[in-house]
Amino acid sequence: MTRILSASTHDLRARTSRTLAGSDANHPDPDYSAAYVILHTDSGLEGHGMTFTIGQGNELCCAAIEALSTLVVGRNLSDIVDNMGAFWRQVTNHSQLRWLGPDKGVIHLATAALVNAVWDLWAKERGVPVWKLVSDMEPAQFVDCIDFRYLRDEVDEVRALDILTKARVGQKQRLAHLEENGYPAYITSAGWLGYPEDKVRDLCRGAIADGWNSFKTKVGIDVASDMRRCEVMREEIGDSRQLMADANQVWDVNQAIEWSNQLQPYGLRWIEEPTHPDDILGHAAIRRGVKPIGVATGEHAANRLIFKQLLQAEAIDYVQIDACRLGGLNEVLAVLLLAAARNVPVCPHAGGLGLCEYVQHISVIDYLSVSASLEDRTTEYASHLHEHFVNPIQMRNGHYLLPQAPGYSIEMKQESIDMLNYPNGAEWRD
């Protein structure tokens, strides 16, 4: 029996603003960061979790994690995982702390870090990666991980069981496919807004040489500049490869329609985050106004309710779920079910510190246990900061290879924790 004895938090920040990696229209100078938590146990196992930020405010997430950690410290892991749905409800429904959300903001980001640390610990105790822990579950056990409150008008426990039971058919064959080929991905590394044209060209050429067929660029500052960026990327990747664009929430609704339509000649698969992440009806209007370009969003969708409404309003073509904007894997599983019920593909957001490591598990879970499909599905990838992780992602020909190590792939090297520690780590001493 594993007992959680304590929790430690770490404010970790990488100075990506120096190179403009991660730069976009709304965030020109991000410092990719993680509010990081380690659950220490009497067995020697550790549960690692994090929530992603871009610098200032990371300390607020750390403080919120510390506040929530009292809900797990002193508890036996078995008592938690025997009813994961109830555990998640307890964390998100604290009679006082929930007032700070509910289900949004700093308190929800902290929820993701803590909840994901529990999943990491559970998978390590079982000796399997998180994707296998979940994909091996019987449908009823999967359902028990989810709090269906506020969702039953769209997907209830019975509907969820039906989706999951149907997905069991052919699971072994789909797993064999992943073992051989990996999960399809697209690359953002060439498209950061702050990169000059010659760098974009060089990065596109390097990515093609490495087997990439799907690319994303950032847009939203100047339409003429955006058209030129899309033109440059099309010149480099050709007409046969996919190109997506990401506005990072910068536009009004009408502006998004007008601007996106000026990008029609470049054959965009989707326009991502074209307006405010909470504007469900705005997204619906944009979707109607920019066809055949699809609309993708979800990186900043605060909770499962936003996704429920986006899907009900037929406002998006792609669900871009984030691994730690939502309240950890429990809520992610709920959104996978919502998307499957509407037959809308899930294409997770990633790229930041630790996000690629997280979302590879989510995509595999979706394919093996929920949607049972790879049609129109792809997962974001960016090439930076993976060297900080004990078991970093492995890529081949534009595909995520199946994670093999037990846990959620988010455990960082101690030397990286020491180096990225803010403000005293080596990363911040000059």
CB 322 within 8 A of CB 363: no
Element (H, E) at 71: none
Residue 216, beta-bridge partner list: 244
- 421 Rama sector, left if φ>0, alpha if ψ -120 to 50, beta otherwise: beta
Q: What phi and psi, each to the nearest 5 degrees, are found at residue 219?
A: -140, 175
Per-residue tokens: 291: 């066809």
* Residue count of the chain: 430
> What's the first-to-final CA gap in the chain, in angstroms?
46
Burial of residue 96 (number of CB atoms within 10 Å: 0-12, 13-18, 19+): exposed
Q: Pseudo-torsion of CA 392, 394, 400, 401, nearest 10°?
A: -110
Closest C-alpha to 151, from 302, 334, 317, 362: 334
Amino acid 277 reads: P
Select which of 108, 132, 218, 283 is catalytic.
218
Marked catalytic residue, from 124, 308, 349, 399: 349
Q: Is 218 annotated as catalytic?
A: yes
Pull the structure tokens for residue 111. 């929820």
Q: Which strands form 46-53's sheet, in the order they lie side by side?
A: 4-13, 33-41, 46-53
The residue with tokens 């957001």 is 349
141 neighbors 61 (Cβ within 8 angstroms): no
408 contacts 376 by C-beta, under 8 angstroms: no
Hey, which residues are catalytic here? 218, 349
